[in-house]
Amino acid sequence: MLSPLKKIPRSWLLASVGLLVGLLLTILLLNWLTPHQFHGLVMQSPQPVSNFELTAHTGQRVKMSDFRGKVVLIYFGYTFCPDVCPATMSELRQAMALLRPGQQADVQVLMVTLDPQRDTPQLLANYLGHFNPTFLGLTGTPEEISVAAAPLGIFYEKHEGDTESGYLISHTSTVAVIDKNGYLRLVYPFDTTGEQMADDLKILVGE
Amino acid sequence: MAALSIASHKNYWFGFLFYGGLVLFAVAVVAFNLFRPVTVLPRITLAPGYALTNSSGRSLTSEDLRGGLSLYSFSYSRCAGEHCPNLAEVQGLLNKQQVTDLPLSLVTISLDPEWDSPAVLANYLQQNGYDGSGRNHWHFLTGDSFLVRTVVGNGFSLYYKAEGDGQIKFEPRFVLVDGLGVIRAYYYGSRPEPAILLRDIRLVSEEAQNSHGATRLAYEAAHLFLCYPH
């Protein structure tokens, strides 16, 4: 008695296998050729970010050009921020954790304080250290901070509150992603996850 | 012999379907790029964030305008000459033709914040025929001089310089910003070309309203293939 396979004409089998292989190759080719779909808002005409200068929580004066060669994620917040800032920093921590050590070395997360009055360098260092020791806090005079914040679409406004910590600051809560050449490439809105950021960072780091 | 003929016939059809599918896909991509069923304005860069003061003395921030379209211009109450933007004309044009269902704000930032207090701006608006009943709200903003220079200079890349006689030297322009705070177009001169301005507002508005689900892919493809209006 013939096995079921042997009942099928040889040409049919070859054609079926050929079709499957062809489909698989097509899927793989399309996957390879399709550009990566970045999460967040993609800047189609990337512009260079201005080379603003601030003071790091280490006490050093730093300029944006100091981070050339790294992908920079820059967030504007403050340590007394009750919810939005720690949530965003957690996602940034998660994004870094999902990268390989070699990739992590090519990424720098910066948090610029919108509250230089209360956010001392020591406070910034302690706050950011809870998320990731490589995260760098930046501070400066109110003028220096506004020069950094405004072109990146960041609005901020102080509100006198009744909380124990005093006033609160309403602010835009986006994360700007700057590529290795200093160009603004992406802007993540508040609900972007660490996984999504890591997905994009793997591509940008490899450029 | 007959069996071989049937087999090679069927192989032909499998090959035809396989390669035909690939060709169809390639033709679809080229056709999309050629005929451009979806046209978009490029996402140029982020519009600057700010908290400034309007002519009523109240704070207006860039966040307040999220979700709608904003047409920014730059002027000052003592501006005299051809280079001064004709803001009442622009407002009149946009009030006459409804090209968007989204909120549309006209925002003029004063280049002379030290002179242009909220009261001065309120007086200017009244004297220049500002129609408060129009659909499109017009905000004339002032604020701290340093912040204004940061927003206008660093944010909107507009250079301006006081000439000492109350006049300020600047190149007039209008800037269209979408609901996500992204600059989509620049219009250089004191009067944007009406047909182009209306077309662009319509394009950005349609994209904001239609870019959901499967149609979002079409809009992103339009951005990817640079399907910009000529």
In 3-state terms, what secondary structure has residue A194? helix
Q: What is the pLDDT of residues B118-167, one digit of tens each?
A: 999 999 888 877 755 555 678 999 999 999 999 999 899 999 999 878 89
**Highest mean pLDDT out of A14-23, B38-47, B141-150:** B141-150
Residue B86 pLDDT = 84
Both tokens of B93, joined, read: 């044009």
- Read off the pLDDT of each residue in B172-180 and give the average, rounded to a whole number: 94
Closest chain A residue by Cα to residue B42: A44
pLDDT the model gives residue B36: 61
pLDDT greater than 60 at residue B6: no
Q: Is A135 helix (H, G, I), strand (E, B) or coil?
A: coil
Chain B closest CA to A6's CA: distance in Å? 15
pLDDT, tens digit (0-9, with 9 covering 90-100), for B183-213:
999 999 888 899 999 999 999 998 988 877 7
| Any A CB within 8 A of B145 CB | no
B100 versus B149: the higher-pLDDT residue is B149
For residue A144, pLDDT over 90 is answered with yes
Q: Is B182 within 8 Å of chain A by CB?
A: yes
The three-class DSSP label of residue A198 is: helix
Please report which helix (H) or strand (E) contains residue A137, including its range: strand A136-139
pLDDT for B89 equals: 83
* Between A201 and B211, the higher pLDDT residue: A201
Q: What is the mean pLDDT of residues A29-58?
A: 85
User: Is the Cβ pair B8, A47 closer than 8 Å?
Assistant: no
CA distance A57 to chain B (A): 24
**What pLDDT shows up at residue B88?**
79
Strands of B29-181 (E only): list them. Answer: 45-46, 51-53, 59-61, 69-75, 104-110, 137-141, 160-162, 168-170, 173-177
Whether pLDDT at A18 is above 80:
no
pLDDT of B96 strictly over 60 = yes
Tell me what ipTM this predicted complex has. Answer: 0.72
Q: Any CB–CB contact under 8 A between B8 and chain A?
A: yes
Mean pLDDT of A4-13: 69
Higher pLDDT, B22 or B188: B188
Determine if residue B160 is left, alpha or beta; phi over 0 gives left, psi from -120 to 50 gives alpha, anything else beta: beta
Residue A2 pLDDT exceeds 90? no
Average pLDDT over residues B15-31: 71
Q: Classify residue B108 by its DSSP letter.
A: E
Cα R_g (chain B), whole angstroms: 25
Taking contacts as CB-CB distances below 8 angstroms, the residues of chain B near A172 are 49, 62-63
Residue B95, pLDDT score = 80
Residue B62: what pLDDT? 94
Q: Is it the case that residue A26 has pLDDT exceeding 80? A: no
- Indicate yes or no: CB of A176 within 8 angstroms of CB of B181: no
Q: Which chain B residues are Cβ-neighbours of A10 within 8 angstroms?
A: 7
Model confidence pLDDT, tens digit, residues B47-85: 999 999 999 999 999 999 999 999 999 999 999 888 898
Mean pLDDT, range A122-136, rounded to an integer = 96
Q: Tell me what pLDDT residue B3 has.
A: 53
E strand or H helix that includes residue A160: strand A156-163
Q: How far is B211 from chain A (nearest CA, A)?
A: 14
CA-to-CA dists, residue B79 to A163, B84, B130, angstroms: 45, 6, 16
Highest-scoring range by mean pLDDT, B79-93, B97-111, B173-187 = B173-187
B226 pLDDT higher than 60: yes
Is the Cβ pair B155, A44 closer than 8 Å? no
Instruction: Give the span between the Cα atoms of A74 and A203, in whole angstroms.
Output: 18
The DSSP line for chain B is -HHHHHHHHHHHHHHHHHHHHHHHHHHHHHHHHHH-SS------EEPPP-EEE-TTS-EEEGGGGTTSEEEEEEE-TT--STTS--HHHHHHHHHHS---SS-EEEEEEES-TTT--HHHHHHHHHHTT--TTSSSEEEEEB--HHHHHIIIIIIT---EEE-SSS-EEE--EEEEE-TTSEEEEEEESSS--HHHHHHHHHHHHHHHHH-SHHHHHHHHHHHHTT----
Q: How far apart are CA B17 and CA B10, in angstroms?
A: 11
Question: CB pairs below 8 Å between A and B: how many?
Answer: 101
Lowest mean pLDDT among B52-61, B93-102, B171-180, B221-230: B221-230
Instruction: Find chain B residues with C-beta within 8 A of A11's C-beta.
Output: 4, 7-8, 10-11
Residues of chain B with C-beta less than 8 angstroms from the C-beta of A50: 154
Of A149, A153, A170, the CB nearest to B181: A153
pLDDT band, very low/low/confident/very high, at A54 (cuts 50, 70, 90)? very high
pLDDT recorded at residue B169 = 92
As a whole number of angstroms, the distance between CA B127 and CA B19 comes to 70
Pairwise CA distance, residues A131 & A135, whole Å: 8
Lowest-confidence range among A11-15, A110-114, B25-29, B166-170?
B25-29
Question: Which of B12, B54, B147, B154 is most worth mutating to test chain A (most A CB atoms within 10 A of its CB)?
Answer: B154
- Closest partner residue to B45 (CB to CB) among A45, A143, A150 is A45
Q: What pLDDT does residue B10 have?
A: 59
Dmax over Cα atoms in chain B, in whole Å?
Answer: 100
What pLDDT shows up at residue B141? 96
A27 touches chain B (CB under 8 A): no
- Report the percent of chain A where pLDDT is more than 70: 91
